[in-house]
Amino acid sequence: MNKQIADRQQPLDDVVIVQYRGIAASTIGHLTDNGYLRGIRPLFDGIRMVGNVVTVKVHLPDGSILRDALLNSQPGDVLVIECVGDGHCACWGELRTLAGLIKGLAGVVVSGAVTDVAALREHRLPVFSQGISAVTTRSLGERGELNGPICIGGVAVNPGDLAVGDDDGVFILNPQQAAELLPGLLAKESADRGRREVFLGRLAGKAHRICNG
């Protein structure tokens, strides 16, 4: 057995994490492209995820480290999983999703495949992945790493980072980056809301004029 398990980390205050719940991934993308996970897509529409990162490295086809990840995570955490090996071997499915819901996870990001997609879409735990597969991992109990540095799509991810995801994709922000970007992101969200209201008002006015001749 060669499992490496480190303690969970959360350097960001809960207040900062809560503030990010009102910030869209595309708003972050207006200010930076650092931390964007290219190739990672949402499993269903209307998805929203913000949370403290717990990192997992899975050495396919051994998925046993995910049990440790679920046991050691806290409500509101996001499991960010780097899959090493056969990219067609799915490490996340319905039973782990149900366990994640019981644990109170905010979401799961997989740099590989997931399975049981109909059930995952029904249960609505936010899940992002690179693909889908019917071939799955096995609990071999041999290898895996929890709360160590990982890399997804060229982006370095560490425990205690912040994950922000929605229909447009996922950003991983390190604590310093998250704190520095927050004022500008909040200002942009506020400005965009104001502009949206103006545009919607003009659109409603145009519709009213058309309907009333």
Res 28 pLDDT > 70: yes
What are the percentages of helix, strand and coil residues in the chain, rounded to 5? 35, 30, 30
With cut-offs at 50, 70 and 90, classify the pLDDT of residue 2: confident
| pLDDT > 90 in the chain, percent | 84
Q: What's the whole-number mean pLDDT along residues 28-39?
A: 97
- Residue-averaged pLDDT of the chain: 94
Domains and CATH numbers, the chain: 2-211 (3.50.30.40)
What sign for the dihedral angle of Cα 144, 62, 117, 99?
A: negative
User: CB atoms < 10 A from the CB of 87, how many?
Assistant: 14
Q: Tell me the C-alpha distance between 72 and 89, whole Å.
A: 24
With cut-offs at 50, 70 and 90, classify the pLDDT of residue 196: confident
pLDDT, residue 38, reads 97
With cut-offs at 50, 70 and 90, classify the pLDDT of residue 204: low
Q: What's the whole-number mean pLDDT along residues 159-185?
A: 98
Per the DSSP assignment, residues forming a β-bridge with 155 are 152
Res 39 pLDDT > 60: yes
Q: What's the whole-number mean pLDDT along residues 189-203?
A: 78
Q: What's the whole-number mean pLDDT along residues 175-201?
A: 89
pLDDT, residue 200, reads 67
In this structure, what are the phi and psi dihedrals at residue 72, rounded to the nearest 5 degrees? -95, -5
Tokens of 1: 């057995």
Q: What's the whole-number mean pLDDT along residues 67-74?
A: 97
With cut-offs at 50, 70 and 90, classify the pLDDT of residue 86: confident
pLDDT, residue 166, reads 98
Q: Tell me the C-alpha distance between 210 and 206, whole Å.
A: 6
Higher pLDDT, 212 or 150: 150
